[in-house]
Amino acid sequence: MRPATAEEFPAFLRTTESAFHEDVTDDDLESWRTVFEPERSLAVFDGSAMVATAAIFTRELTIPGGLMSVAGVTAVGVLASHRRRGLLTRLMRRQIDDVRTAGESVAALWASEGVIYGRFGYGLAARHATVTLRTAGARLHPDLPAPAGRTTLVEPAGVVSRVAPLYDRVRRERPGHLDRAGAWWDRRVADPEHHRHGRNALRAAVHVDDDGAVDGYALYAVESIWNDGPEAKTSVREMVADGPAATAAMWSYLIGLDLTRSVEYWIAAPDTPFANMLQGPYRPRVELGQNLWVRLVDVDAALAARTYAAPFEVVLEVADAFCPWNAGRHRLAWDGATAACERTDAAADLALTTADLGAAYLGGTSLAALAAIGRVRELRPGTLAPVATAFKGAREPWCPEIF
């Protein structure tokens, strides 16, 4: 096992995608190569054949109260011919050790199968909503701001310079969001034919307010369907809006597209109050899905890096079989301005695992909810409620981008 070289990248990606039963095109190779970090990859070889892979993207993650460098775990796969040999565990062991050596306190990933990563200390920290709405007769709730400003269509390849500042402003306010450098924007607006799945070309709609400032955009594609009449489907890749007026304008645009009869938004914010935003004969269908999984590699550094909703002090008894340097008691305190977390010999107030801390880290999963199913134990009566309140955020965390 060793990092793959830049020259080995084609073999690396083909091994990864083969583990997911996918093919690799020239478009895929070109897109992945722009963000691939060879020095942060791992490849397992059987003789000269590459049989398992894992990689990291170096990204910036929004956490409650700030930003932090995060190890974005990706491209984890083992060929079908080499399953059940412990290769995944070896990859995870080496990868976590490398992340710790690099001085990063948090790793995050999207899991193809959530059951895999819990045993390595990852906790489900965010959700997203898949929203489907039949748009016949749909309209904005009358209490929403009346759409104003102007919406224009822009070629996706040329939209980045206009919307990137808006995304960067919004992503700093929502835990779970990631930064986007140039190559990541190129991937976000890429539109290879083999990824369209029957949809037409990607489109970009940009909204400006009455002063001409960009305050919203949507990346979407339409699948043309004709039966007795038009029944096209709109698939939303991403929608960003800064404020109620922009939100109203973007949704008004999407539900009002001519010849379309439904909208599907696969990775929408999980706490969007769709029933309070849209009206019509058909109710929005909302299905919650698993979003970011978070792993605290350095418990003290990670917990001290974020802010909390109210002052508190607690001693945590942390269990971590995969990263034993985290195991033990940690005193965490927030005085309303600064957080501190350090080792202690004091009696513990709460007992939990690093996976539980990872789940609660972005402010989405409640420690009290975990306690209700036995994942968190209150050792000193009265300590759970204030700590659970302090960990929670004003809105649910959400990552709109699979990496």
The strand pair at 232-241 and 260-268 is best described as parallel
**344 and 273, same domain (yes or no):** no
Confidence tier at 114 by pLDDT (50, 70, 90): confident
Contact indicator for 251, 138 with CB cutoff of 8 Å: no
Q: Is residue 144 part of a domain?
A: yes
Kindly state the average pLDDT of the residues 19-37. 96
Secondary structure, 3-state, 224-245 = CCECCCECEEEEEEEEEECCHH
**66 and 204, same domain (yes or no):** no
Residue range 255-300, pLDDT digits in tens = 999 999 999 999 999 999 999 999 999 999 999 999 999 999 999 9
Single-letter amino acid code for the residue at 56 = I
3-state DSSP assignment of residue 402: coil
Q: Is residue 116 part of a domain?
A: no
- Which residue in this structure is represented by tokens 């930003």? 67
362, 353, 358, 354: which is closest to 394 by C-alpha? Answer: 362
What is the domain extent for residue 99?
9-104
Residue range 349-401, pLDDT digits in tens = 999 999 999 999 999 999 999 999 999 999 999 999 999 999 999 999 999 99
C-alpha of 35 from chain center: 17
The 8 Å CB, 24+ separation contacts for 280-284 are 280/134, 280/135, 280/136, 280/137, 280/138, 280/139, 281/134, 281/136, 281/137, 282/133, 282/134, 282/136, 282/137, 282/138, 284/131, 284/132, 284/133
| Catalytic residue list | 117, 403
245, 264, 290: which is the final residue of a domain? Answer: 290
40, 71, 104: which is the final residue of a domain? Answer: 104
**90 and 238, same domain (yes or no):** no
Q: Is residue 122 part of a domain?
A: no
Contact indicator for 271, 394 with CB cutoff of 8 Å: no
**251 and 283, same domain (yes or no):** yes
Q: Is residue 235 part of a domain?
A: yes
Q: Is residue 117 part of a domain?
A: no
- pLDDT at 52 (0 to 100): 98
Q: Measured between alpha carbons, how far is 169 from 188 in angstroms, rounded to an integer?
A: 17
Burial 330-368 (b: 16+ CB within 10 A, else e): bbbbbeeeebebeeeeeebbbbbbbbbbbbbbbbbbbbb
Q: Is residue 379 part of a domain?
A: yes
CATH code, domain carrying 59:
3.40.630.30
3-state DSSP assignment of residue 352: strand
- Which residue in this structure is represented by tokens 């109050």? 273
Q: Is residue 355 part of a domain?
A: yes
Q: Is residue 166 part of a domain?
A: yes
**341 and 211, same domain (yes or no):** no
**153 and 262, same domain (yes or no):** yes
**265 and 170, same domain (yes or no):** yes
Q: Measured between alpha carbons, how far is 397 from 89 in angstroms, rounded to an integer?
A: 28
CATH code, domain carrying 314:
3.30.1050.10
- pLDDT at 198 (0 to 100): 94
Residue range 57-93, pLDDT digits in tens = 999 999 999 999 999 999 999 999 999 999 999 999 9
Q: Measured between alpha carbons, how far is 41 from 57 in angstroms, rounded to an integer?
A: 9
Residue range 135-167, pLDDT digits in tens = 999 999 999 999 899 999 999 999 999 999 999
Residue range 159-190, pLDDT digits in tens = 999 999 999 999 999 999 999 989 999 999 99
290, 308, 325: which is the final residue of a domain? Answer: 290
**303 and 225, same domain (yes or no):** no
Residue range 199-238, pLDDT digits in tens = 999 999 999 999 999 999 999 999 999 998 999 999 999 9
Total domains in the fold of the chain:
3
Sheet holding 260-268, edge to edge: 150-154, 203-208, 214-223, 232-241, 260-268, 127-134, 285-290
- pLDDT at 66 (0 to 100): 97
- pLDDT at 261 (0 to 100): 96
**178 and 276, same domain (yes or no):** yes
**Residue-level length of the chain:** 403
Q: Residue 10 has which token pair?
A: 């084609």
Q: Is residue 259 left, alpha or beta, with left meaning phi > 0 and alpha meaning psi from -120 to 50?
A: left
**329 and 207, same domain (yes or no):** no
**50 and 149, same domain (yes or no):** no
**217 and 251, same domain (yes or no):** yes
